[in-house]
Amino acid sequence: MTDEKRAELTGKVENVIEQIRPYLQQDGGDIKFVELTDNNIVNVELMGACGSCPYSTMTLKNGVETAVKKAIPEIESVEAVNI
């Protein structure tokens, strides 16, 4: 992937995450973009209440990943990482 394409996709991903963030913050959680891998996998950090919530995986896959993949079909998945 070219640097230009990576920068374009990263910007799009960050924009979608910014749109989702207020919904997570309403429940005391938050999300932070970490990186976009060469395989088009988005790594994010779940913070606040989301970091310890037993439903965080469901929120990540059914909410965040679905929204990101709908907006940006090139994305393969969204994964939570611990930093």
Residue-level pLDDT at 56: 82
Residues 6+ apart with CB under 8 A from 80: 43, 44, 45, 46, 56, 57, 60
The model's confidence at residue 79, banded by pLDDT at 50, 70 and 90, is very high
What pTM value is reported for the model? 0.90
The predicted-structure confidence for 14-57, as pLDDT tens digits, reads as follows: 999 999 999 899 989 999 999 999 999 999 999 988 877 787 88
Residues 6+ apart with CB under 8 A from 37: 43
Pairwise CA distance, residues 36 & 25, whole Å? 23
pLDDT of residue 83: 74
Q: What integer is the mean pLDDT of 62-70? A: 93
Residue with tokens 């976009």: 36
- Tell me how far apart the alpha carbons of residues 58 and 65 are, in angstroms, rounded to a whole number: 10
- The domains found in the chain, sorted by start residue, are 3-80 (3.30.300.130)
